[in-house]
Amino acid sequence: MSYLDLLDYSFRFALGETGASTWIWMIITVLGIILLVGSVWGRLWNNDWSLLRQKGFLATILCFAALAAYAVLNLRSVDRMESWFVEQRKTLPASIANSARLKRAVIVETWNRLEPKQGQADLVPPDQSGDQVRLNTPEEAAVLASVAAEEAAAVLRTKPPFTFGAPLDTKSPKDIASETIDVLKVDASAYPKTVPSDNEWSATAATIQASHSLDSAQSFLRPHLSDLKNASLWLFGIALALPIILTATRALDDIKVNPKP
């Protein structure tokens, strides 16, 4: 992820997930630099100072105010992301696993892969409103879990933080299926087993896939976000310090140019 990609991710995250308090702080920052630094601070050096009379300098102050506000946006976003990932870790895997669209897609694709093996007799096909598949062996259960892992990966591409530009790292469907079988520990004697779209193999595989992708994205972004935070602190400091210096200098120069009689 390049630095520009990181800035783009932070901005898109801010637009999508940052609360109203961030925008309030940005407005306060802009007004603070314009009024306190550009106007009040200038009057401390020159009683006759008026920022409104300094059209070109006013534009400069506005630019610095915008930079400071952008720094505040990044700082608030970075601080929010850590807790946001914790919240997503609790809710997103379950949301994907319980998605009716995912469940249906898994049943349809699993049927398409298992039906040629002639093990689905007496069941209604999905294209005729059927909602079940028969798992005749643990290997067929692994097929169901691997399909769920594939479908979960596709759904994740449409969810934050991946829609914001975070890299999506997924486990292979085969590995997810193996892990799902290990987690569920269903005895071989339980087969054949007819399952609906809402089944433990699909839910477990989708949960494992989503959890892994979120953890990977957070681990990848954490050091980059730390760099962004440091850069934003520097930007905020510069955007505040330079107007302070420039306003004082400009106010004193205004006395020389327009001395009071």
pLDDT, residue 119, reads 85
pTM: 0.82
Please count the structural domains in the chain.
Answer: 1
Cα separation, 252 vs 258, whole angstroms: 10
pLDDT, residue 260, reads 63
CA quadruple 160, 166, 167, 170: dihedral sign:
negative
pLDDT, residue 177, reads 95
Cα separation, 195 vs 114, whole angstroms: 13
pLDDT, residue 261, reads 57
Residue 3, phi then psi, degrees to nearest 5: -65, -35
pLDDT, residue 190, reads 87
Q: What is the three-class DSSP state of 259?
A: coil
CA quadruple 209, 211, 214, 218: dihedral sign:
negative
pLDDT digits (tens, 9 = 90+) for 109-145: 999 999 888 888 888 999 888 899 999 999 999 999 9
pLDDT, residue 20, reads 82
pLDDT, residue 5, reads 84
Owning domain of residue 9: 3-257
Cα separation, 7 vs 11, whole angstroms: 6
CA triplet 223, 226, 228: central angle to 5 degrees?
115
Burial 78-91 (b: 16+ CB within 10 A, else e): bebbeebbeebeee
Structure tokens at 13: 């995250």
Q: Residues in the chain with pLDDT < 50?
A: none
Q: What is the three-class DSSP state of 230?
A: helix
Burial 139-175 (b: 16+ CB within 10 A, else e): ebbbbbbbbbbbbbbebbeebbbbebbbeebbbebee
